[in-house]
Amino acid sequence: MSSRYKTGKATQIWRSATNHMATGLAVLSTVLVVAPLIAIFVYLIYKGASSLNLAFFIKTPRAVGEPGGGMANAIVGSALLLGIGSLIGVPIGIASGVFLAEFGRGGKLANAVRFTADVLNGVPSIVMGIAIYSLIVLPQKHFSALAGGVALGIMMIPTITRTTEEMLLMVPHSIREAALGLGVPNWRSVLSITLKTASPGIITGCMLAFARVAGETAPLLFTAFGNQFWSANLNEPIAALPLQIYVYAISPYDEWHRLAWAGSLVLIVLIVLSVSLVRFVTTRGVLKGAN
Amino acid sequence: MPVSVTKDVEKLKDTSVASPQETAATHSGASTPQGVVDVSSVRKFLMARGNSAVADRGFRWLMIACAMSIFAIVALIASELIARSQLSIAKFGIGFFFKQAWNPVTGDYGALTFIYGTLASSIVALIIAVPLSIGVSVFITEMSPKFLRGPLSFLTELLAAIPSVVYGLWAVFVLVPILRDDVNPVLMKTLGWTGFFAPPNFGQGVMTAGVILAIMILPIISSLTREVMTAVPGSQREAVLALGATRWEMIRMGVLRNARIGIVGSIILGLGRALGETMAVTMVIGNRPEIVKSLLAPGYSMASVIANEFTEASDSLYLSALVEIGLALFLVTIIVNGLARLLVWAVTRGASARVA
């Protein structure tokens, strides 16, 4: 303790040494954080690119032992699941955000909704899987694409709600009042003035939610279940890219490992593209909601 | 210090000054500063004059209904979990969580092994991730040259965008061999006496799960830590520097001390994520229901036992026991997340009020 208040030469050296050491440690930890990221990406690109070919995109999986095959059904399945998810998550998410920003400002109800959305956000994805299993799969008595889509949709809601609220709060009051002053009904002003002004930011939120659930595996394990064959029937088990990657990764076959890497690369490229697109456009200010 | 002053000015610019093109894009030429007029009373007056009371009310109720559906969803999840775990709750009671047995053949179930696996791997993850993420946040917010700030925070956010299953895949084929052949032997030699690093060394185990979890929760902890650190007002930094502190002393006394509650909050939020993480852990933890002191030995976590055995659960008691584990996970993450939000909110609340 006492050394802090001394001003001798030794103290000066000690202080400056700790200062440099702290800088060194901060730099070191930054390197240690960035290193695994780069390691994962390099390895993924190296492994994935060497296993990626046209067949991956147009063929369905082959039986064990047969070389070749692809994940066409899983790609289509993922697209379907994400489509159902967006149909559920986007409208509910945006509407809840509108409620929080336009109608519930600061009220107890709004705080409760906000807190519940946070709770929903924190629900482990595997628990979501169990819940949807017992809500939809058990009564229906079969796994289905619909159940998987609902699980993903519910997981999208909290992210969209919170970004929508944040974006709407940035829209200045004067705009709303101008609309009302012109005799525009309130619902119309919310839809075509406020939401429209904030739409770029809201789209960003939707993209982020989309990217987040695109890679989810755990909620699909007991809902969409996976499928080795073509299926576009919403009432049947359906393949999904992350599920297929999981099944192939824990299998003992090299050929399947190869496909898992290719699948991961495709998934990552999709996700990173959407995230960086969002980031690029938002930092450019084009998509920023009005201040 | 001029550095932090300019930073504050930039922050102000970012948050409160609209650029001309944005203002133009928002239909309204007049951008009156907020808070000058009592906005809500003007709006209330205008809204009352509209002749679309029915449509307005309908719209309002529609929005409220959607917001209420969030309550409904959480309530449904909770009630389903409670209902489906009744069988196991009735049979084993609270003892379920203190029993090691997991035997589908005799119908004897206890969750202690899985609770241990989840806790042990999460603690390992926190031990690795907390110092690293604080270091990264300190570097990005206080030390890094300006041109590196954006790219670095983008890179740490990218870590959050990688799906769990891809982490698992990478861990199985890259991390496991590295730990098994290079890291674990060193740990066994130097720290073997503690008993935490004893053979067998399969590569798959609680330790490996902890390492991959650490990588996964890093972005969460570091982005929130960065947020609370930037919420510390620049005057605090300037005051400490003005007293002749070095940069590290400024960070320690001026920034970290002020932000500590928020940092704890972000760590707890990271813990919440680690507790519920499924896929990557399932792929590397070894999936053996055993409590072993050595972290290198295989274990089993709450989320991974659900992932592995849920579809195989043959009788209703088995299924019910698995759902009860899910229910426990659900409740624990609610508590952990609620606590974390409260702490982060307690710190950033004041800051956002100042900026606005």
Predicted confidence (pLDDT) per residue in B1-26, tens digit: 333 333 433 433 343 333 334 333 33
Asked if the C-beta of A107 comes within 8 angstroms of chain B's C-beta atoms, the answer is no
Instruction: Give the residue-averaged pLDDT of B141-149.
Output: 88
B164 with A186: Cβ contact below 8 A: no
Asked if the C-beta of B12 comes within 8 angstroms of chain A's C-beta atoms, the answer is no
pLDDT score of B173: 93
Instruction: Give the residue-averaged pLDDT of B271-288.
Output: 92
Convert the pLDDT of each residue in B178-234 to its tens digit: 999 999 889 888 888 888 888 888 889 999 999 999 999 999 999 889 988 988 888
pLDDT score of A113: 92
pLDDT above 50 (res B33): no
DSSP secondary structure letters along B243-292: TT--HHHIIIIIIIHHHHHHHHHHHHHHHHHHHH--HHHHHHSB------
To probe the interface with B, which of A15, A30, A274 has the most B CB atoms within 10 Å?
A30
Question: Who has greater pLDDT, B53 or A47?
Answer: A47
Convert the pLDDT of each residue in B55-84 to its tens digit: 888 898 999 999 999 999 999 999 999 999
pLDDT score of A283: 63
Rounded Cα distance, B164 and A129, in Å: 15
Rounded Cα distance, A214 and A197, in Å: 27
Give the other-Cβ count within 10 Å of A115's Cβ. 16
Classify residue B163 by its DSSP letter: -
To probe the interface with A, which of B169, B312, B322 has the most A CB atoms within 10 Å?
B169
pLDDT score of B29: 37
Instruction: Give the residue-averaged pLDDT of B345-353.
Output: 62
Convert the pLDDT of each residue in A10-34 to its tens digit: 888 988 999 999 999 999 999 999 9
At residue B31 the predicted structure's pLDDT band, cuts being 50, 70 and 90, is: very low
Query: Which structural domains are found in chain A, ordered by start?
Result: 73-283 (1.10.3720.10)
SS3 content of chain A, % helix, strand, coil (to 5): 75, 0, 25
- Select the residue of B56, B71, B278 nearest A218 (Cβ to Cβ): B278
Which of A175-184, A239-248, A264-273, B323-332 is the least confident region? A175-184
For residue B131, list chain A residues with Cβ-Cβ distance below 8 A. 29
pLDDT above 70 (res B30): no
pLDDT score of B109: 92
pLDDT above 90 (res A65): no
Query: Which structural domains are found in chain B, ordered by start?
Result: 88-355 (1.10.3720.10)
pLDDT score of A277: 78
Give percent of chain A above pLDDT 90.
Answer: 41
pLDDT above 60 (res A142): yes
A197 with B138: Cβ contact below 8 A: no
Q: Which of B148, B248, B162 is nearest to A38 (CA)?
A: B162
Q: Which of B279, B78, B119, B135 is nearest to A126 (CA)?
A: B279
Q: What residues contact residue B46 under an 8 Å CB cut-off, 6+ apart?
A: A177, A180, A181
Beta bridge partners of residue B286, listed in sequence order? B299
Convert the pLDDT of each residue in B89-122 to its tens digit: 999 989 999 989 898 888 899 999 999 999 999 9
Size of interface A-B (CB pairs under 8 A): 315
Is the ipTM of this structure higher than 0.90? no
Convert the pLDDT of each residue in B305-319 to its tens digit: 999 999 888 888 999
Instruction: Give the residue-averaged pLDDT of A226-248.
Output: 88
Asked if the C-beta of B139 comes within 8 angstroms of chain A's C-beta atoms, the answer is yes
pLDDT score of B107: 87
Q: What is the dihedral of CA A284, A288, B2, B5, to 10 degrees?
A: 180
Give percent of chain B above pLDDT 70.
Answer: 85
Rounded Cα distance, A19 and A12, in Å: 11
Question: Who has greater pLDDT, B49 or A185?
Answer: A185
CA atoms within 13 A on the CB side of A115: 14
